[in-house]
């Protein structure tokens, strides 16, 4: 399980989406809401879908899991917990 807690900017972000945009500006797109993200590293740029719970982010039967990655898909998907509350160091 990967846990992302500290953004390099050291600022607090109001949403996980803002956190991802700041921490990983090369992302192709970021969608959804929540502190769990399903990352697809398959294509030339990573894509992120956000979910409120781990079980939803890791649900391999979900429509977004199956289709969210597109034609480049090589199955390189990873669930990451965004732990913004620790972003105080």
CB–CB of 37/79 below 8 Å? yes
Distance in angstroms (rounded) separating the CA atoms of residues 78 and 47: 11
Which stretch in 24-32, 55-63, 68-76, 79-87 sits in contact with Zn ion by CB under 5 A? 68-76
Query: How many Cβ atoms sit within 10 Å of the Cβ of residue 8?
Result: 7
Which x/- pattern over 2-41 shows residues binding Zn ion (rule: CB under 5 A)?
Answer: -----x-x------------x-----------------x-
Contacts with Zn ion by CB under 5 A lie at 7, 9, 22, 40, 42, 69, 73
């Amino acid at each position: 399980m990967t846990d992302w807690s500290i953004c390099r900017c050291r600022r607090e972000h109001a949403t996980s989406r803002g956190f991802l945009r700041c921490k990983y500006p090369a992302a192709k797109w970021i969608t959804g809401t929540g502190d769990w993200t399903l990352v697809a590293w398959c294509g030339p740029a990573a894509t992120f879908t956000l979910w409120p719970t781990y079980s939803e982010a890791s649900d391999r039967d979900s429509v977004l899991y199956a289709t969210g990655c597109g034609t480049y898909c090589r199955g390189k998907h990873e669930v990451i917990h965004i732990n913004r509350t620790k972003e105080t160091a």
